[in-house]
Structure 1
């Protein structure tokens, strides 16, 4: 059984004559430990798909299953618990709390969930080491660079050991160096911790760190690319597909 199953998912906005089919009968699966990218032109349905899969939005029809459970049927309280315990989110704007230190921002999800102190410290040490945050734990967000802030946001998203990590344009606000560092950290998480990642991006360089990419056009799956060789070759394959489908940024 696949870890994630998206079955005939559609999302329709508007009324009667002004209906917009943001997603139209989308189906695919994600295996445990995959690093999957979602690409396509602006307005293709990428963020809508991420929102539906992450339970932020509900599909008009179809199902999203995680470990065989239909997450679209969960009630509000169940959804809140499900998101907190099984999902992680990295967004383009970091949403860090300025009044808290890096350490406090990182452990906040565990503190809210009343996790044992020893577990919190173990996970904090692990995440800080992987993301290179050990020297930043006592700083505040306004003392960090943009790249450092995004790494803290990433750490906060994964410190709960989520089953599935969603990343929506995580490098969109970063310079080339910071973006490369973040992507290397995400790849390490995927490789060492087998964290399952689904990342929405316009950027071919960012997407080249994925292991598989689904291209969406007009609310439907248009094509799929699977990384076979090195990242440079995959980058070239992505560029060629972007030229075919239209839209997206080619390089940094």
Structure 2
């Protein structure tokens, strides 16, 4: 059973005389434990598609299923619980609360779950060890580096054991060293914790950590590539596809050896 099934999804904005087709009849599945990226030129519909899957927005036509549930038709009360229990979100700007410690920020998603203290502590210990932030738990966000803040945000997304981890340009605010560290941690989460990840990015280096890339152009699914060789080879394939759809070329790309 697919974790995500996007079925003939279209999204239209505007009024009768000024309609904009942000997405046009897109269909694909994401299988359990996949690490999938979405790429495309600016304005292609990447974020709109992510919002459909994240239940932040609803399609004009078609439907989105997560774990065989039609989330695009769920009522808001049920949807709120579904988001909290089954979806994890990593944002480019972290969205951490400065008045709370790292520990408190990470535990926020569990506040309504009425879990026992031993269960909470076990989850916190596991996630913080995987992400290498166990020593930071009693610090505040402004006392840690930008890369560490993003790992804290990642830990907050993982603490609920989500069915699907959604990341929107997660390396956009990071320097190359911090970005590499975060992507390596996401790879560990995907492989060792069996977490299904969907990542939106415009950056070929970031995308090269995925196992499959869906390319969107003008609101439509343009192509996809699957990683069969090493990451350098996959990076080159991504650059070539970006050039094909007008999103960049090999000579203005950043080398992945960083």
User: After TM superposition, is the score higher than 0.5?
Assistant: yes
Provide the TM-score with structure 1 as the length reference: 0.98
Deviations 1:103-136 (A, max 9, x none): 1111111123222211110010001101010111
Matched with 2:44 is 44
- Segments of 4+ moved more than 4 angstroms: none
Matched with 2:188 is 188
| Structure 1 residues not aligned, in runs of 5+ | none
Deviations 1:7-40 (A, max 9, x none): 0000000011210000000000000000000000
Pairing of 1:113-192 with structure 2 (within 5 A): 113-192=113-192
Deviations 1:16-67 (A, max 9, x none): 1210000000000000000000000000000000000110000001010112
Q: Are the aligned partners of 2:3 and 2:163 in contact in 1 as well (CA < 8 Å)?
A: no
Matched with 2:95 is 95
State the shift of 1:247 in Å: 1.8
Matched with 2:253 is 250
Matched with 1:233 is 233
| SS, match of residue 16 in structure 1 | coil
Provide the TM-score with structure 2 as the length reference: 0.96
| Structure 2 residues not aligned, in runs of 5+ | none
Rounded Cα–Cα distance in structure 2 between residues aligned with 1:18 and 1:251: 38
Rounded Cα–Cα distance in structure 2 between residues aligned with 1:75 and 1:171: 33
Rounded Cα–Cα distance in structure 1 between residues aligned with 2:42 and 2:114: 40
Rounded Cα–Cα distance in structure 1 between residues aligned with 2:116 and 2:12: 43
State the shift of 1:144 in Å: 1.1
Rounded Cα–Cα distance in structure 1 between residues aligned with 2:114 and 2:175: 36
Deviations 1:108-167 (A, max 9, x none): 111232222111100100011010101111100011111111000000001100000100
State the shift of 1:3 in Å: 2.0
Rounded Cα–Cα distance in structure 2 between residues aligned with 1:9 and 1:45: 12
